[in-house]
């Protein structure tokens, strides 16, 4: 029976010296079994790969795709919206996924 858990840094270093010699084979067997189970299982909810690739839009792209959102509004609200990244004083980029989430939330209320 194993008396303690091995943490990740110990595993990476290959240092299982904190275990008693008779505990080491069992710890390594359990570690191998855990890795096998993890590789064969589906990822937990929310940890799966995103469905779409991250896309950054210019203000002009946003105006063309979403006519209700104006360039001036984007610049005025760049500090408040985490999905708007200011590149310089006159340039910014908009994360399309963040924009869509924000639009979805704002239409719900």
Q: By percentage, how much of the chain surpasses pLDDT 90?
A: 42
Q: What is the pLDDT of residue 1?
A: 54
Compute and round to an integer the Cα radius of gyration of the chain: 24
pLDDT tens for 85-105 read 999 999 999 999 999 999 988
| pLDDT tens, residue by residue, 10-29 | 665 666 666 777 777 787 77
DSSP string computed for 27-81: HHHHHHHHHHHHHHSPPPTT-SPPSS---EE-HHHHHHH-TTS-HHHHHHTTTT-
DSSP structure class, residue 3: -
CA distances in angstroms from 68 to 49, 94, 108, listed in the order given: 30, 15, 17
């Amino acid at each position: 029976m194993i008396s303690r858990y091995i943490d990740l840094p110990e595993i990476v270093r290959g240092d299982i010296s904190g275990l008693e010699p008779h505990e080491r084979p069992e710890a390594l067997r359990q570690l191998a079994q855990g890795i096998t189970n993890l590789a064969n299982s589906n990822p937990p909810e929310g940890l799966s790969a995103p469905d779409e690739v991250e896309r950054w839009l210019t203000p002009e792209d946003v105006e063309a795709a979403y006519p209700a959102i104006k360039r001036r509004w984007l610049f005025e609200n760049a500090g408040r919206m985490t999905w708007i990244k200011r590149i310089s004083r006159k340039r910014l980029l908009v994360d399309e996924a963040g924009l869509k989430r924000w639009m979805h939330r704002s239409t719900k209320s």
